[in-house]
Amino acid sequence: MDAGDRPARLTVGVLGAGKVGSALGAALAQAGHRVVAASGVSDNSQRWAADRLGVTPSRPDEVVGAAQLVLLTVPDDALPDLVSGLASTGADLKGKMLVHTSGAYGLSVLDPAAGAGALPLALHPVMTFTGRDDDLNKLTGISYGVTAPELLRPVAEALVIEMGGEPVWIADADRPLYHAALANAANHMVTLIAESSDLLRGIGVDHPGRMLGPLLGAALDNVLRLGIAGLTGPVVRGDAGTVRKHVDALILAAPEAADAYVALARLTADRALAAGLLKPEEAERLLDALGGNIWT
C-alpha cells in the first residue's frame, strides 16, 4: 500500500523547521502523514520548510491552527517560552498532539499547553543532525527516548515506529540524566577527536583522520561489544610513567586539554579498578601521576 493510501493520516505542523524539524517532518510525510505548515526564523529553516517539507513558512499560531500534530523542534532553551507563548496567546491547542524533541525536557515543559487541552508527547531522536541531505536516511533504525502519559503511549510508539525508529521509554524524572549520558558520549567524543587531530596536525601529521579512523573504529566496536572490558591503553596497563608524560606534554602543548585528560584518566582508572582490570597498587600509582602539583 502506498503511503498516501493509508487511512487515519494526520496533518502535521512543524514549529522550528531546522535540521531536526525538517528531517522528522519529512519522515512523517514519508510515513503517509501530511505536512501542512511550518515556521522557521533562519534562512536555512525557511529554505528547508520549502524544499524538504513542501510548505511556505507561516506564523506559529497558523502552524498550530492548521495541524493535528505539532512538532516543537526548537533549541532546548527556547522551548519553555514557545510553549507558554502558545498557551498565553490563545493558540488553538485543544485536542492537538504537541510533540517536543528535546532530550533534556520531559512532559512538564508542556504543562501550559496541556492545560489548554493539548496532548503532550516527548520524542527525542537519538541521532546527530547536520542539515545535510542524508539526515532523513539517518533516522532508519535509531532509538527515540520517549516519554508520554500512559494513555498516549500507544500513539507515541506508533509515531516512532512509523518514522523507522525504536521507542525506548524514559521516565520523566530521568530525562536530564538520559540526555547527559548521550551528550557526554557523542558531543564530547567530537571535541576529543577534534582536539587529538589538532595535536597530531601540530606535530606534522598531515592526515590525522587516516591515523585515528581505524583506532577509533576498533575502540568503539570494543566498548559496544565488551563494555569496560574492551578498555586498552596505558591506564588499564597501569603505566603511570607514560600517563605522567602525557600530562606533562599536554601542559606544554595544549594546557586547556590537560584538565580534560586528567579528569578522564582518573575516571578511567576508577572504572578499571572497579572492574578488576587494574590492581589497587597500580591505581594508586596512576592517581599519584595524575595528582599532585601538576599545574606548576
Sorted by where each starts, the structural domains of the chain and their CATH numbers stand as 3-170 (3.40.50.720), 178-290 (1.10.1040)
Burial 228-256 (b: 16+ CB within 10 A, else e): eeebeebbbbbbbeebbebbeebbeebee
pLDDT at res. 172: 96
Alpha carbons 101 and 147: distance in angstroms, whole number? 10
What is 5-18 written as a DSSP string? G-SS--EEEEES-S
Arithmetic mean of pLDDT, 117-125: 98
Evaluate if residue 295 carries a pLDDT over 70: no
Evaluate if residue 133 carries a pLDDT over 90: no
The overall average pLDDT reported for the chain is: 93
Arithmetic mean of pLDDT, 88-111: 96
Per residue in 186-237, pLDDT (tens digit) is 999 999 999 999 999 999 999 999 999 999 999 999 999 999 999 999 999 9
Give the confidence band of 132 by pLDDT, cuts at 50, 70, 90.
Answer: confident
Q: Which of 37-46, 105-114, 190-199 has the lowest mean pLDDT?
A: 37-46
Collapsing DSSP to helix, strand or coil, 136 comes out as coil
Residue 77 CB-half CA count within 13 A:
0
pTM, entire model: 0.88
Give the confidence band of 291 by pLDDT, cuts at 50, 70, 90.
Answer: confident
> Using CA of residue 186, residue 135, residue 155, residue 62, what is the dihedral sign?
positive
Evaluate if residue 14 carries a pLDDT over 90: yes
Higher pLDDT, 254 or 2: 254
Q: How far is CA 253 from CA 10, 108, 180, 269, in A?
A: 56, 46, 29, 24
Arithmetic mean of pLDDT, 56-70: 94
Evaluate if residue 4 carries a pLDDT over 60: no
Higher pLDDT, 90 or 217: 217
How would you classify the pairing of strands 166-169 and 97-100? Answer: unpaired
Evaluate if residue 276 carries a pLDDT over 70: yes
Evaluate if residue 289 carries a pLDDT over 80: yes
Collapsing DSSP to helix, strand or coil, 124 comes out as strand
Arithmetic mean of pLDDT, 265-285: 95
pLDDT at res. 23: 96
Arithmetic mean of pLDDT, 90-116: 96
The DSSP secondary-structure symbol of 227 reads G
